């Protein structure tokens, strides 16, 4: 018996199979694979903060990939959701690490700079001016430990001038006026900054015991030696005082 091709396509019942269900294809979400790709690229965020755009984009793509199935997706789990979850995990891990790494570096360098600055003050308080002068030099230009510093600075005209300039800066007198029991502490957190290919630190010290009200302003410079160790030296150390600024002059 012939059938009319214009009749609607409805499920047909057969003896063996019963009703024929319409076919549904498993939905495919390309956003999940894009999330995975961006999650892998998120490792670049470790090297520079502007590259945190990769973790952010990966997380956004992951949210799109993991949205609820639509009406036409028959409630099945779309292909690409697993890739999206993996991408979001990678983006979260690399993103947090890339965001926090500069903070960890500043904390570490700040602690090392604070220790070096404290040792420098202690050396001056003990009266070891020659050693303090050496700590003000780049580590590569310091004299070897076998060098007799007393003889060098005492018998050299240039050494005498360097010593006189060092002792006349006001810092030496301020530290020694505080006495042996002076408790020099940071007046504010260490300021770590990067300039001209080097790490620098700015420290401001005050006497917590109140023996002296003057504050010491230190600028430290950090170099890395051949073994990969940070070597700090005093770039400038003066008494804290207001400095000229453009608005004050104009």
Query: Per-domain residue ranges for the chain?
Result: 13-102, 103-249
- Global pTM value: 0.68
**What's the DSSP call for residue 179?**
-
- In three-state form (DSSP H/G/I as H, E/B as E, the rest C), the secondary structure along 34-61 is HHHHHHHHHHHHHCCHHHHHHHHHHHHH
Residues of the chain with pLDDT under 70: 1-25, 70-75, 180, 211, 248-250
Domain 103-249 has CATH 1.10.3470: no
pLDDT at site 208: 87
pLDDT at site 13: 52
pLDDT at site 203: 95
Angle at 104 between CA 103 and CA 106, to 5 degrees: 65
pLDDT at site 55: 92
């Amino acid at each position: 018996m012939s059938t009319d091709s214009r009749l609607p396509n409805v499920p047909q019942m057969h003896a063996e199979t019963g009703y024929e269900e319409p076919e549904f294809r498993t939905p495919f979400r390309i956003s999940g694979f894009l999330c995975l790709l961006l999650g892998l690229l998120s490792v670049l965020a470790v090297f520079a903060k502007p590259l945190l755009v990769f973790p952010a984009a990966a997380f956004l793509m992951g949210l799109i990939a993991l949205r609820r199935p639509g009406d036409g997706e028959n409630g099945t789990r779309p292909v690409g959701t697993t890739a999206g979850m993996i991408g979001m995990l990678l983006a979260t891990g690399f993103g947090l690490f890339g965001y926090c790494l500069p903070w960890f570096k500043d904390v570490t360098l700040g602690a090392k700079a604070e220790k070096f600055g404290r040792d420098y003050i202690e050396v001056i308080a003990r009266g070891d001016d020659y050693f303090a002068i050496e700590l003000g030099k780049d580590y590569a230009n310091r004299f070897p430990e076998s060098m007799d510093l007393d003889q060098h600075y005492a018998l050299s005209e240039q050494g005498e001038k360097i010593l006189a300039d060092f002792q006349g800066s006001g810092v030496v007198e301020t530290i020694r006026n505080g006495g042996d029991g002076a408790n020099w502490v940071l007046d504010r957190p260490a300021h770590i900054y990067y300039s001209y290919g080097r790490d620098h630190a700015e420290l401001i010290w005050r006497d917590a015991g109140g023996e002296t009200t003057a504050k010491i302003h230190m600028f430290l410079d950090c170099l890395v030696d051949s073994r990969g160790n940070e070597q700090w030296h005093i770039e400038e150390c003066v008494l804290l005082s207001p400095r000229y600024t453009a608005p004050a002059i104009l």
